[in-house]
Amino acid sequence: MLTKSQRPKYLNLFKIREPVMAVVSIFHRVSGVFLFLTIPFLIYWLALSVRSPEDFASASAYFASPWLKLIGLVLVWSLVHHFFTGIRYLLMDISIGENLPAARISAWLVFGIVAVVMVLVIGSMLL
């Protein structure tokens, strides 16, 4: 018989098999923190875009540079994931898809939607 101190504690995240809803949830948080860090850049971009025609041009060109495209891709993923998982939570708040089987399906569905949107975004960047 296991004593209290011998009981296994599966705190190693790589040993825990997380249900898909938990993965959606933690990605919602991670993407939220990324988006929080984006706030000053978004406002700087707004400031630049209204300052002068030259600054407007450089603000528009920001999305053309390959380095910012790469960072931008992470941020676009953050926004897309946070957006769709957020809508999933809002629907749950009004009692849509609250039970376990529905939550599992909607979690996979959200991952699918995010994947499709990201493929479209990357596709439009390559064109």
| Least separation in angstroms between CB 30 and other proteins | 9
| Least separation in angstroms between CB 24 and other proteins | 16
Q: Give me the 3-42 binding string for other proteins, x by CB under 8 A, dash otherwise.
A: --------------------------x--xx-xx--xx--
Q: Rounded to whole angstroms, what are the CA distances from 18 to 80, 83, 92, 97, 106? A: 22, 22, 20, 20, 16
**Torsion sign over Cα 79, 82, 83, 85:** positive
| Least separation in angstroms between CB 12 and other proteins | 17
| Least separation in angstroms between CB 2 and other proteins | 27
Query: What is the number of residues in the chain?
Result: 127
* Nearer to other proteins among residue 3 and residue 12 (C-beta): 12
Question: Is 63 near other proteins (CB under 8 A)?
Answer: no
Q: Which of 34, 62, 83, 111 binds other proteins (CB under 8 A)?
A: 83
List residues near other proteins by CB under 8 A. Answer: 29, 32-33, 35-36, 39-40, 43, 46-47, 49-50, 52-53, 56-57, 83, 86-87, 90, 93
